Amino acid sequence: MAANATGRMAGRRVLVIGAGQETYGLPADQVTMGNGRAACLRVAEEGAAVACADLHLDRAAETAALIGESARAFLVDATDEASMTETFAAAVDALGGLDGVVVNVGMGGPMWLSGTSAEAWDRTFALNARAHFLGCKLGLQHLDDDGAIVLVSSVASLKPGSRIPAYDSSKAALAGLCRHTAFEGRRRRVRTNVVVPGLIDTPMGRRATRDRPSRTEGQLPLGRQGTAADIANGVLYLLSSEASYVNGQLLVIDGGLTTIH
């Protein structure tokens, strides 16, 4: 356990959907840690056993290897109900139950409404909204009482700017899904919340900035982008007992971008 860890997740069992590391074609020396891997490592530092699931098994396995014996790796297609059902069952079997679920998957899409086909819209929603719906549905079925679900969204759900209508809209859908899942889970005290990252220096963020260099200009109230560690700390908080009275909420981690910019 890391020197600054307090063991606040000791005994907890967490499934992270989207636990691998994507590079988006960046050179190796430009690849920073992504939110999913960072979340896995952070909750493991605090004592959790982690089921690392990803569309690419080798990437999930790399994350699990960084954690050690308390982690397991699983292959999952987060858009496919049968695959998600199988992965949840396998994680429960491997860890002996579940206390937390994190859904950290997403993709962009074509720019502008005029450039977005119905097929592209549906493809983005399949990953950015349907996957989270499946995570919530299966989470409520498998989580022990007092469990927690954390969905990962984006500030694109709160303000325009990405120029990708399917991305903005699908990320905005997570707020409604969160509220409903929190409502259904309340009798067993299963909490559901959303982490809303701002401009974060992940491989996906770096690719977006490479494609649109002006993306961050004038958009950094604290003078820097966030890091995957900032997001992982938010996920950790919402999974932990420290957030036992936080339910159905959006935790915006954006340096003030949506409130003071």
Distance of alpha carbon 243 from alpha carbon 259, whole angstroms: 23
Please give the order of strands across the beta sheet that includes 250-253: 71-75, 49-54, 13-17, 98-103, 143-152, 191-197, 250-253
245 catalytic, yes or no? no
Task: Say which of 24, 167, 237, 245 is annotated catalytic.
Answer: 167
CB 189 within 8 Å of CB 146? yes
Active site residues per annotation: 167
